[in-house]
Amino acid sequence: MIGVAAATVLAGCAASDGESSNTSSGPLVVYSGRSEALVAELFSQFSTETGTELEVRYADSGELAALLITEGNASPADVYFSQDAGALGAVEDAGLFSALPSDITQLVDSKFRSTQDRWVATSGRARVAVYNPNLVTTVPNTIDDILDPMWKGKVGFAPTNASWQSFVTALRVVRGEDEAEQWLTAFKANEPVAYEKNSAVRDAVNIGEVSMGLINHYYLYEKIAAEGADAVTAKNHYFTGGDIGGLINVAGVGVLESSKNKDAANQLVKFLLSAQGQEYFAQKTFEYPMAAGVAAYGDLPSIEELNPPAIDLSDLKSIAKTQELLAKTGLLTK
Amino acid sequence: MSSRVRAPIALVAPAFVAAVLSLVPVWYLFQTAFTSGFAAVVDELMQIRTLQLVLRSLLLMVTVTSASVVIGIFAAWVVARSPLRPRLLLIIAFSLSLAIPSYLAAFAWVSWIPGISGFFGAFIVLTFVCYPFVMLPVIASMDISDPMAEKVALSLGRRPFGVFRTVTLGQSRPAITGGALLVALYVLSDFGAVAAMRYEVFTWVIYGAYRAGFNPSRAAILSSVLLMAALVLTLIEVRVRSTRDTFRMGAGVRRATNIQFGVTARIATIAGAVLLVSFGAGVPIWRVIYWTGFDSNTDVQWDVVFRSIATSFGIGIVTSVVTALVALPIALLSARYRGKTSQILEGSTYVAHALPGIVIAISIVYLGIRTLRPLYQEMPLLILAQVLIFLPLAVASMRTAIAMSTQSLEHVARSLGAGSMMTLLRVTIPLALPGIMAAGALSMLSSVKELPATLLLRPTGTETLATQIWKFSAVSDYAAVGPFALAMILLAVVPVAVLTATTRQGIAR
């Protein structure tokens, strides 16, 4: 055992000697904030089809953004693949992304890419109210309806979840700090039930522990895929008509300005937006495809039908302020 | 007690290098914090919220440290003084909770009793993770200390508890304060437990600055508060320790004291020990097994598990050997050549210990990408980061052991004409071997569960047990987390057994 272990470490040390600055012929380095379990298979499809070797470093999206900002122009990364638009906006602000060619940007609706064309969304997730039809007869039309006393103690949410915090960020961006605080204070007064994560909210709704939950659309489809449609009572309700409750947040990708391998990097971005890449997200993660021409999973309403709120997704980077507001209103911590 | 002999340069030079390395994160923090100007720093720190969070961190630190001291002393007493046996099993059982990462322990608790989240949950989890920091040095100290003092006090009519309180604890005081300092610094730097328990403390805003603010310079500014706190704590500990260091410690006569033990006392002791083990290691282990069994249709990929074990073990071994080597000169100076210089050198290794792992990692990134580019994202830099994080653990356990070993043999060696270095190599270091081994074991334990620095600094594609646990818990696949978590706890038995063997050597000597 010691032998194997020492060899592993030594191999790691030795590898450093061989590498030099000829990065353009080396593997393409990807920093991925999307988890290995979700995207590794897609990356290996890319390598198989193009012959371009990938070196993928997985970590938290935000930590990778901080890492890129610390590394600056010396970063070994060619591509940054993020779970959230906010982190992409921060890397863009630091001047680290290169402009994407128009044959990439034209694939994606302008709502779902950076205003300076330095990153594009690769897939989207809609905020929904998942509800238990045995307990709920009228669903809320807007997020303000949730403040009605009829929902007291009946709404589940996941306070530490990044998508919930993105929703609150959108609330702040659209309505301003004061009105956002008012909404959160009223929401808190209605005694929502906090869960560890979105899937726990979904399960609580499904068994009727709470009547409704604020989560992302795909959690329901994950459960249906795992347990069959018969086992799942809960249904998704979509907020439409531009209500903030129907925010569509995205995962997205950008190419680093410092990359010496931009052609291959752009090729990877194009692959993620190809029919093959987009169908992968639609079928495997049940997310919304972002490139025109690829259909969403199953019976999902189209993005046009959803009519999500108009918001510059780069503005979702002020999550730190959101956390402060959530802490202040007593919704984040104990 | 301090030696009249000047510290040999062969000791001062490496200690100086180690201290300078330890201050790399501090240097980085000041570089980065002041990029946006002095006014920004003042502005960021002088906020009511900053103060509130510092107070919450301090509250958690004080309560966890107090509880860890009480529990740590109890556990050490059970091992070293009570009639409960076997000793090997007791130490392993009591130390296991140290092998469980705080994020995993916290999640185990909160997934079992959701209502426990908040201050109480964070307090419970951190206390169980931290009390071995007190227990281990106190066991060593009880093993080495002069049992005659206790006998004399008993024969003079003091009640057993009084003897324990004044004599036994008095002799263990440097070990207790040293352990308490490590606990306090750990609590200040922890994010895993407080995040899972949703108890907002100061590390929240530091992690928030990275994960939600994407702002390393804000994180640096905020981290300087933890540096100040660490500095103050270190100074307090030095003060407390030095007022009590005049005790004469015996040379390690085999313990003869057997306090009279009634049935009630025996039952109480057994109950206490069982409770401690069930809550400390039992709950997390039970939850991990429960997760693994919950979803029995997932196949465990044993080859992946074994490869991760080998990687974690390899990194752990190298880290622990390097940490022990780097810590040794500092510990020797601190224990044998007390003075301003040695105190400053020792103190500088502690300061960074209050920084969250991610801050140390980012500071090594900052250094590595600019000056050590060929090593960037390779093993040596990861190991350097881990050595910096665990150095205080190693220095503390070595120093206690060295300070408590008798100096008379060194005087004999010198009187026979041996030089300072010769005396160190031939006498002091062999005497301190248990402490050195314990330091290595403690670093190994910590290395295996270390996550934030590993995630950012590992060579791309390297998977340790900790990164595997992170990978699967990120997508809530707890059935897949199970085998890696169990492997991590089993792997911890190795260093714990080493710890145990060395503390025994302490008595036998």
> What's the token pair of residue B34?
């002041």
Which is more confident, A126 or B208? A126
Greatest alpha-carbon span in chain A:
67
Is the pLDDT at A12 greater than 60? The verdict is no
Whether A333 contacts chain B with CB within 8 A: yes
Virtual CA dihedral for A286, A290, A294, A299, nearest 10 degrees? 40
What pLDDT was estimated at residue B76? Answer: 93
Test A16 with B315 for CB contact under 8 angstroms: no
What pLDDT was estimated at residue B270? Answer: 93
Test B198 with A332 for CB contact under 8 angstroms: yes
Is the pLDDT at B249 greater than 60? The verdict is no
> What's the token pair of residue A53?
């070797």
Q: Give the mean pLDDT of A20-49.
A: 84
Test A69 with B214 for CB contact under 8 angstroms: yes
Q: Where are the beta strands (DSSP E) in chain A?
A: 28-32, 54-58, 79-82, 120-131, 155-157, 193-194, 212-216, 235-238, 248-255, 288-289
d(CA B152, CA B141) in angstroms, rounded, equals: 19
Residues 60-99 of A with CB under 8 A from B: 60-63, 65-67, 69-72, 74-76, 86-87, 90-91
Residues 225-284 of A with CB under 8 A from B: none
Test A15 with B378 for CB contact under 8 angstroms: yes
Residue B210: which of A55, A66, A71 has the nearest Cβ? A66
pLDDT tens-place string over residues B155-187: 787 777 777 777 778 878 888 998 999 999 999
Closest CA to B99 of B132, B121, B77: B132
What pLDDT was estimated at residue A167? Answer: 94
Identify the burial level of B409 via C-beta atoms within 10 angstroms of its C-beta, where 0-12 means exposed, 13-18 middle and 19 or more buried. Answer: middle
pLDDT tens-place string over residues B387-422: 999 999 999 888 877 877 767 777 888 888 888 788
A334 pLDDT band (50/70/90 cuts)?
low
From the CA of B83, how many Å to the nearest CA of chain A? Answer: 37
Which is more confident, A42 or B336? A42
Closest CA to A21 of A74, A67, A80: A74
Test A15 with B459 for CB contact under 8 angstroms: yes
Q: Using a CB-CB distance cutoff of 8 angstroms, which residues of chain B are in contact with residue A58?
A: 471
Whether A197 contacts chain B with CB within 8 A: yes
Is the pLDDT at B1 greater than 80? The verdict is no
pLDDT tens-place string over residues A88-122: 999 999 999 999 999 999 999 998 999 999 999 99
Whole-angstrom Cα Rg for chain B: 23
Direct distance between the N- and C-terminal alpha carbons of chain B, in angstroms, rounded to an integer: 22
Q: Using a CB-CB distance cutoff of 8 angstroms, which residues of chain A are in contact with residue B378?
A: 12-13, 15-16
Q: Using a CB-CB distance cutoff of 8 angstroms, which residues of chain A are in contact with residue B367?
A: none
Q: Using a CB-CB distance cutoff of 8 angstroms, which residues of chain B are in contact with residue A210?
A: none
d(CA A262, CA A46) in angstroms, rounded, equals: 16
d(CA B163, CA A108) in angstroms, rounded, equals: 77
From the CA of B133, how many Å to the nearest CA of chain A? Answer: 27
Which is more confident, B397 or A303? A303
> Which of B205, B206, B211 would you mutate first to test chain A, the one with the most A CBs within 10 A?
B211
> Which of A30, A67, A80 would you mutate first to test chain B, the one with the most B CBs within 10 A?
A67
Identify the burial level of A13 via C-beta atoms within 10 angstroms of its C-beta, where 0-12 means exposed, 13-18 middle and 19 or more buried. Answer: middle
What pLDDT was estimated at residue B86? Answer: 86
pLDDT tens-place string over residues A133-158: 999 999 999 999 999 999 999 999 99
From the CA of A204, how many Å to the nearest CA of chain B? Answer: 13
Is the pLDDT at B247 greater than 50? The verdict is no
B351 pLDDT band (50/70/90 cuts)?
confident
Test B216 with A69 for CB contact under 8 angstroms: yes
Alpha carbon B130 to its chain centroid, in Å, reads 8
What pLDDT was estimated at residue B506? Answer: 45
From the CA of A48, how many Å to the nearest CA of chain B? Answer: 18
Residues 138-167 of A with CB under 8 A from B: 159-160, 165
A-B contacts (CB, under 8 Å): 147
**DSSP of B456-468, one letter per residue?**
HHSPTT---HHHH
Q: How many CA atoms lie within 13 A of B209 on its CB side?
A: 20
pLDDT tens-place string over residues B216-244: 888 888 898 898 899 999 888 888 876 55
Residue B214: which of A90, A323, A333 has the nearest Cβ? A90
Test A63 with B358 for CB contact under 8 angstroms: yes
> Which of B35, B201, B214, B217 would you mutate first to test chain A, the one with the most A CBs within 10 A?
B214
- Pairing outcome for strands A212-216 and A155-157: parallel
From the CA of B209, how many Å to the nearest CA of chain A? Answer: 7
What pLDDT was estimated at residue B246? Answer: 44
> What's the token pair of residue B360?
């140390």
Which is more confident, A51 or A24? A51
Alpha carbon A82 to its chain centroid, in Å, reads 7
B5 pLDDT band (50/70/90 cuts)?
low
pLDDT tens-place string over residues B272-315: 999 999 999 999 999 998 888 765 556 778 899 999 999 999 99
The predicted model scores a pTM of 0.87
Q: In b/e form, how buried is each residue of B260-284, taking b as 16+ CB within 10 angstroms?
A: eeeeeeeeebeebbeebbebbbbbb
What pLDDT was estimated at residue B298? Answer: 61
> What's the token pair of residue B48?
């009511």
A102-106: which pairs have CB atoms within 8 A and are 24 or more residues apart?
A: A103/A270, A104/A266, A104/A269, A104/A270, A104/A273
Test A6 with B314 for CB contact under 8 angstroms: yes
Is the pLDDT at A196 greater than 60? The verdict is yes
Is the pLDDT at B344 greater than 60? The verdict is yes
Mean pLDDT for chain B overall: 85
Q: Give the mean pLDDT of B48-61.
A: 88
A25 pLDDT band (50/70/90 cuts)?
low
Test B369 with A70 for CB contact under 8 angstroms: yes
Is the pLDDT at B372 greater than 60? The verdict is yes
d(CA A43, CA A55) in angstroms, rounded, equals: 10
Q: Give the mean pLDDT of A10-23.
A: 40
Test B373 with A74 for CB contact under 8 angstroms: yes
**Cα distances (Å, whole numbers) of residue B64 to A245, B71, B108, B124:** 41, 10, 19, 8
Strand partners, A156: A193, A213
Question: ipTM of this complex > 0.95?
Answer: no
Test B314 with A4 for CB contact under 8 angstroms: yes
pLDDT tens-place string over residues B129-153: 999 999 988 887 887 776 677 777 7
Residue B375: which of A16, A61, A75 has the nearest Cβ? A16
Q: Using a CB-CB distance cutoff of 8 angstroms, which residues of chain A are in contact with residue B116?
A: none
